[in-house]
Structure 1
Amino acid sequence: MSPQRRTAALRRSAGAPPAPRELKAYLRLLAGTQFAFNTGFYAVLPYLAAHLGDGLGMAGWLVGLVLGLRTFSQQGLFVVGGALTDRYGPRPVVLAGCVLRIAGFCWLAQATATAAVVGAVLLIGFAAALFSPAVESETARAAVTHERATGEPRARVLAVFSAAGQAGAFLGPLLGTLLLFLGGGFRAACLAGAAVFVLVLAGHARLMPRRPRTVRERPRGGLFRDVLANRPFLVLCLAYSTYLVSYNQLYLALPAEVERATGSQNALGGLFALSSLLVVAAQLPLTRWSAHRVAPRAALTAGLAVVAAGFAAVPLTPGGPAGLLPGAVLVVLLTLGQMLLVPAARGLVPDLVPGHRLGVATGVLSSLSGLAVLLGSAATGTLLGAPRGVLWAVLAAVPLAGAGLALCLPGAGRAPVRERTGV
């Protein structure tokens, strides 16, 4: 072991905070993890429905059931991954998630029977339910440590994490498309996704510390008292849920709007690419500006208000070229709101829950939001046949209500601090 690694190990075992250089390297590892996770995942996911329907001949209702089971096994079980992270630390949970994801992708590449497909999809979803809360909670923990050590707002670190994830979400489908274009088919996309996670597993087995980077408190309260009875945290969960319900309209209301305007959904791919490219290009500059001027609660409130403005603008915007201008306005404003509010919301979690419950809290935030999306999607589906003005007014009211909830969070948040260093 090199002297630098020996010193870092001694600092961690003694409970000392990591050196700034060591912490930056760790933050880069976490951001790279999110990039690799999404690259491997989105190399497969966009083509799963077509594979199940066209490739395996499943009925439409069965395809929908399989996709719903994948979402449930991921979002619904985030709290399990968070609890395991609090108990054992992030390293074993992340490594276990990578192993399960590799096994799930390899299984899905070979599966043809319905039961085998369902098993593989559930395994893939549960893998994400393990490593996503582990990586997200550890990123939030490390961002707080970095903020205390350097004075740089934690929102900037979390913005790097978000941008890395969006870059992976943009690159993954391109990788999958390339493999399909080269004739490899869905099986090749699955094996490519598995190969990405093999690399992630190897890298984290070597680079991820065996102990958390910060001192973890011994749990003293129960889960209910620490998280579910924490009223400010539940307010944050509700406010954040309104954003995810709104974001899910990219897959429900936006396709309906594009088909109304153009007669088909062929332009959806371009609008999704516009959203990903906006995050990759503008997330860091926007957060660099807002983190030093706007408190987190205000950024969360403003972001939700911008999302609401995006929905309200759809029936008021002229069709423009090819009738796509209303949809483009919605995508741009929703993405701008997302870039403001997501780092702020994630950065508020460590302020509202005890440190030894950060993993559980991260899982609860995602699981409750997933439940809200499930209920909100059902409600939106019944509204798609309503008059256009009514539909978009109701959709605008959801994030606007979230902005009102965000104003109920305690205090004005942390005061902006001056930038001192970069990650």
Structure 2
Amino acid sequence: MKLTKKRLSGERMSTSTGEITESDRKLLDELRKRIHKELELVKEYDDDFSLMRWLIGWDRKIDVVVPKIKFSLRAIHALGLDQEDLSTLEKVAQKCDDCSVPLRYLPGSLIGLDHENNVVSLQMIGHLDAAGLMPATRNSDLYRMRIAESEGVMQIIRKMEKEQGKPLGTSVIFDLDGLSMVQIDLAALKVVTTMLSQLQEMFPDVIRKIFIVNTPTFIQVLWSMISPCLAKQTQQKVKILGNDWKQHLKENIGEEVLFERWGGTRKAETEYGNVRMGGKIPAELKYDPANDLPAEKLTKLNVSARSTTFVPITLEGNVPGRKLYWWWRLENNDINFSILRAAEGEEKVAEHDDDYMVHPKFKLQTDFVPEDGEVCAAEPGVYKFVFDNTHSKLRSKTVKYFIEVRNP
């Protein structure tokens, strides 16, 4: 298999220094007008390089870009990431660690900047305990962690872009050393590919280079599983390296940022440096189904194929410290879940563009671990717990849920 790094026509701005053409400037002006409410929520994205990534990532089709960037900025705001200081790699790593204890066993780390000042991510896929991860953590925690990591990287990139006046991105190394077919858990793979698709929609045209090293003999099979969820631009940035991969990494990344294990000169106590190596998730971290809420507390909700259903919760008055708690399980498969506060006059519809996003929409499954959590609900209004099954053409979904208002 030969995957080479090609460049799509019009993929980048007119020069490597980020010069913006007159036609792109007009698109930027139109985009700003159409998403001005979202830019007020997350002001840090109101810069040319950030918005150009969206236009480039979606072939400058502004009608496609607008709903995607609206979702992304609302999601970043709903998760509170616009209020977080993620300005260093260390702060990003700490934020990811805080998301979930089992997710600390995910291998891979952000290790520094390459010689073009792109943020370098090194992922040790062969050390992933995929089968152990699924029974230990909520699907939504994986989304939150990866979105937090991506937004942290964007904070670092935006700061450097302002200083250097040129667009930057990420360089990604996937090290498949130790990977075997036995490790490929189909349930975990489905979650990961779904999450990757959402990350690409939320953070388009960020990746500059992808290097895959230590490839197993079944790389063709693995690529056929992963590649459909990757954007065309991303696929064309992938390079699968041969036995001389260390030399390629030194030339394209820089030996000073690479630890010895990857052919670099960066010193550390071990050849792996500070790269998280993953490992088997301890049995005590796995979720015990005995902790499920009792059946008598749960309400059953059927969501037909190709449809969306919601549970409205009406809250009166402004109550600082008030929260909404939820717990739910699906009988099988997956469903999109979100929480919205209804816009005035839109209380009886599941979703409306003017609704306020309280919890982003994630496609989730609960085969092993139920979904639960809480959000601040100080503001009065109708809070809509939305279960979206429009992606399913034939299967209806049954949700068993519990929702509780928690006053201070």
TM-score by length of 1: 0.25
Q: 1 or 2 for the larger relative contact order (CA 8 Å, sep ≥6)?
A: 1
* Greater fraction of residues in strand: 2
* Greater fraction of residues in helix: 1
TM-score by length of 2: 0.26
